[in-house]
Every structure is written in structure tokens, then in C-alpha cells.
């Protein structure tokens, strides 16, 4: 490890801790301080720290560890109980923002391809961001929390399918039905293998698991990496594999003390070390322009992104008889985006460069302004999600309302 990396980590963790503590004193999540730390230290303001492969790797481990811990905390049975509501929320939260992002880009002079790719970027939800927000507000074990996490998983699968479809159209000019079918087969096979491993193989090991030499943690790591590998093979993000691995480290199949030891170690490493790096690193991609066209485009895109998720996800929740405030919380919670848009946008830009170099097209699939607008939108919605959810909780938990999650919310504020 180089001295430069040590100084970088020291700066990020110190400033993140200080700012996070200040935000927490006002009843706000630590992650807002971590995001602000990235803005202050990164290119947007001071420029002391810039993005690097080492920071990228640590940030990736951050969302990997936090998703395993999230999987441990959520009850698989409750996730299944809310599966259809999650599908409805994910579908509404994908389609409505997609349409709104498409229309906004077209209105600002974008081509059809550019509008489609921006629309897809607006429709994405980042499961890791949702997990951290829900955990910080003590709502990860509520019905609303299960719906949000389930919907975020479905949203990631929809993103994979739509991205592959749009790339195929950009390459060949036609929709590749066979490729879409293969994606669905891979996803089905992945979840089938996951269920078999989780319910029939893992319990044979966990019943005899001990923590001698810290090997319980090693076992959990092996399981997480194996599931992450299978997820990548299926074309899904590795964090979905980590989440599902956490789902199969359950109290009912192992000694409760071992379960608590594993949970504590993943919590400490993720929230205490890796997650601050992840959220701070999101700010390193921000690029501001004072050009009026960019500012107007980015502002309208941000509004479309927020309203699209709120309306689309909210309607999906209302369809399954969640009340107005619960539906509002779900819609606002699904607004957390994060790094997924950046990965997708970079894939699109790489494809665009290849197609332009080969003479297939003369106009890029994403302009620099559109890319910067997506990055700014991802950052702003990540900041707004916990703030808007706190406002919604306050309204939903008035004596005249008292939604189901209010007891958990009150516990979170009092601790």
C-alpha cells in the first residue's frame, strides 16, 4: 500500500466521520456527511483527492460488504411475501422515469438513441444506496424496507435487459430477441442455483460452523464471493450475489452466537471503513458547468428523475394497498441512485466511441453534457433520498397517521 493511498484513506475517513457526526446531530444520516466529504476533498471543490483504481476497488468492496450485511438482516420469507408488490414498484419505477428522461432529452435536442440511453440512466435505482439509507433509518426490517430492496433487485434485472436490448439496437439496428431470451434464461438459472445452494447445501455446513481462528467470517466471505461470481456469470452485478449470500446466513440454520459474530464483523468493516469510501468516491465524478443549456438540462432531468420514481413507484405501491404515505416513502426511497448510472454511462460511451471509429454512426450515443447531467442527477438524487424520506416519515408518523413503520422510525431517532 502506497503512502499516497494511506493519506487518501486518512483524509476521506476523517472528514467523513466529522461531517457525518455533524449531520447525525441534526437527525440526518451519516451518508450525507460522507457524500459532502467527497465534494470537499474531490475535484468539485478542493481537488485534493481524485478517483483512482485503488479507490474504485475499495468502493466496490464497500457496496459488496454492505449488501451481504443487508442480506443477513432481511428475512427471506418477508421478501417473498412482498415479491409482487416489489415487482409492481420496480416496473412503475422503471417505466415512468424512462419515459420522462426520454422526453426531456428529446426536448433538449437529443437524438432518439441519446434519449433512450438517458431515459434508461434516469430509471435506474442503486440497491446499495437503498440498503444504507434504510439501515441508517432503522427501516430495513419493515414491510416498506422489504418492498424497496426487492424492487431494487428487480430494477437491476430490468436494467440489464433494457441495456442489452439498446446496445443490440445501436449495433445492428434491430432488437435481438435471442439475446434477450438468453439473458432471461441466465437470470432464471442463477436464481435456481442460488435457491438450491442456499436451502440444501449451506445448512449442512452452518450447523457445524465455529469461529475458531475467525473461520466463521472466512466461511461467510467464501460464500459471498461464490455467489458474486455466479451473479457476474449471469450478467447481474456482483452485489446481488453478495446480498443473496447474506440471505442464506440465517439464525435458524446456525448457532445464534456465530450469526451475531459474522454480522458484527461485516457491519464494522462495511459501515465503519468501506462505505464512507464508497459514498465519498461518488462525488469524485461530479463536473460542473456554468453553461445555461447544461444547467437547465440537468435541472429538468433531476426533477424528471425524482418525480418519475415518486409517481411510478408510488403508483405500484398504491396498487398493492399501501397507504398514501407508505407509497410516498417507497417512491422517495427508490430515488437513491449512486454509482450504477456511472457504470452504465461508461459502457454506453465506450460503445459510442467504437461505433463512431468504425463509421457506423457519426453522432455519439451520449454527449458530454448528457453524461455530466446523468452524473449530477445521480449525485443529487442520492443526497435528496434520505432527506425526503425523513420528511415523509415525519408526516407519516404524526398521531393522526401512524404508518406501520413508525415504531422502527422512532427507535432509530431515539438511539
Instruction: Give tens-digit pLDDT for 344-401.
Output: 776 787 777 777 887 777 788 888 888 888 888 888 888 888 888 888 877 777 665 5
For residue 339, pLDDT beyond 70: no
Residues 6 or more apart whose CB falls under 8 angstroms from that of 284 comprise: 38, 42, 43, 49, 50, 51, 55
Q: Residues 364, 115: contact at Cβ < 8 Å? A: no
Q: What pLDDT, on a 0 to 100 scale, did the predictor assign at position 411?
A: 60
pLDDT tens, residue by residue, 13-53 = 999 999 989 988 877 778 888 888 988 998 888 888 877 88
Cα–Cα distance measured from residue 377 to residue 379, given in angstroms and rounded to the nearest whole number: 5
For residue 243, pLDDT beyond 90: no
Q: How much is the pLDDT for 400?
A: 55
> Domain spans of the chain?
3-414
Distance CA 180, CA 174 (A): 12
Task: Provide the grid cell at 67.
Answer: 449488501
Question: What are 92-144's pLDDT values in tens digits?
Answer: 999 999 999 999 999 999 998 899 989 988 998 877 777 888 887 777 778 88
Q: What is the pTM of this model?
A: 0.81
Task: Decide which of 160 and 300 is more confident.
Answer: 300
Domain covering 3-414, topology: Na+/H+ antiporter like fold (1.20.1530)
- In the chain, count of helices (H) and strands (E)? 19, 0
- For residues 60 and 39, what is the distance between their CA atoms, to the nearest angstrom? 19
Q: What is the pLDDT of residue 402?
A: 55
8 A C-beta contact, residue 126 and residue 344: no
What DSSP assignment string belongs to 51-106? Answer: --HHHHHHHHHHHHHHHHHHHHHS-HHHHHHTHHHHHHHHHHHHHHHHHHHHHHHH
User: Tell me, what DSSP letter sits at residue 273?
Assistant: I
Calpha distance 166→389 (Å, rounded): 33
Amino acid at each position: 500500500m502506497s503512502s499516497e493511498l494511506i493519506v487518501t484513506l486518512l483524509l476521506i475517513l476523517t472528514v467523513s466521520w466529522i461531517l457525518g457526526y455533524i449531520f447525525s446531530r441534526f437527525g440526518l444520516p451519516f451518508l450525507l456527511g460522507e457524500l459532502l466529504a467527497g465534494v470537499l476533498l474531490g475535484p468539485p471543490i478542493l481537488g485534493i483527492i481524485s478517483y483512482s483504481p485503488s479507490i474504485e476497488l475499495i468502493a466496490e468492496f464497500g457496496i459488496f460488504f454492505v449488501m451481504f450485511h443487508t442480506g443477513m438482516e432481511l428475512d427471506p420469507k418477508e421478501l417473498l411475501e412482498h415479491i409482487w408488490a416489489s415487482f409492481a414498484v420496480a416496473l412503475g419505477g422503471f417505466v415512468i422515469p424512462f419515459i420522462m428522461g426520454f422526453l426531456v432529452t428529446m426536448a433538449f435536442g437529443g437524438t432518439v438513441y441519446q434519449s433512450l440511453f438517458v431515459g434508461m440512466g434516469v430509471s435506474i435505482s442503486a440497491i446499495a444506496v437503498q440498503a444504507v439509507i434504510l439501515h441508517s433509518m432503522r427501516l430495513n426490517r419493515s414491510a416498506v424496507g422489504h418492498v424497496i430492496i426487492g424492487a431494487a433487485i428487480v430494477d437491476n434485472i430490468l436494467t440489464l435487459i433494457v441495456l442489452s436490448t439498446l446496445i443490440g439496437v445501436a449495433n445492428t439496428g434491430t432488437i435481438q430477441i435471442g439475446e434477450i431470451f438468453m439473458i432471461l434464461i441466465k437470470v432464471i438459472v442463477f436464481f435456481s442455483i442460488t435457491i438450491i445452494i442456499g436451502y440444501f447445501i449451506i445448512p449442512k455446513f452452518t450447523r457445524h460452523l465455529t469461529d475458531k481462528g475467525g473461520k466463521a467470517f472466512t466461511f461467510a466471505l467464501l460464500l459471498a464471493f461464490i455467489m458474486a461470481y455466479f451473479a457476474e456469470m449471469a450478467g447481474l452485478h456482483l452485489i446481488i450475489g453478495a446480498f443473496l449470500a447474506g440471505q442464506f446466513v440465517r439464525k435458524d440454520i446456525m448457532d445464534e452466537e456465530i450469526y451475531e459474530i459474522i454480522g458484527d464483523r461485516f457491519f464494522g468493516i462495511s459501515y465503519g471503513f468501506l462505505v464512507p469510501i464508497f459514498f465519498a468516491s461518488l462525488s469524485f465524478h461530479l463536473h460542473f458547468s456554468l453553461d445555461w443549456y447544461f444547467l437547465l438540462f440537468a435541472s429538468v432531468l433531476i426533477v424528471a428523475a425524482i418525480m418519475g420514481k415518486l409517481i411510478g413507484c408510488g403508483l405500484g405501491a398504491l396498487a398493492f394497498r399501501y397507504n398514501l404515505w407508505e407509497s410516498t416513502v417507497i417512491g422517495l426511497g427508490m430515488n437513491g441512485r449512486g454509482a450504477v448510472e456511472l457504470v452504465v454511462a461508461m459502457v454506453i460511451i465506450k460503445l459510442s466511441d467504437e461505433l463512431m471509429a468504425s463509421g457506423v454512426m457519426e453522432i455519439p450515443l451520449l454527449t458530454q453534457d448528457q453524461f455530466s447531467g446523468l452524473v449530477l442527477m445521480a449525485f443529487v438524487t442520492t443526497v435528496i433520498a434520505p432527506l425526503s424520506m425523513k420528511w415523509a416519515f415525519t408526516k407519516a408518523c404524526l398521531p393522526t397517521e401512524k404508518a406501520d413503520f413508525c415504531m422502527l422510525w422512532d427507535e432509530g431517532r431515539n438511539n
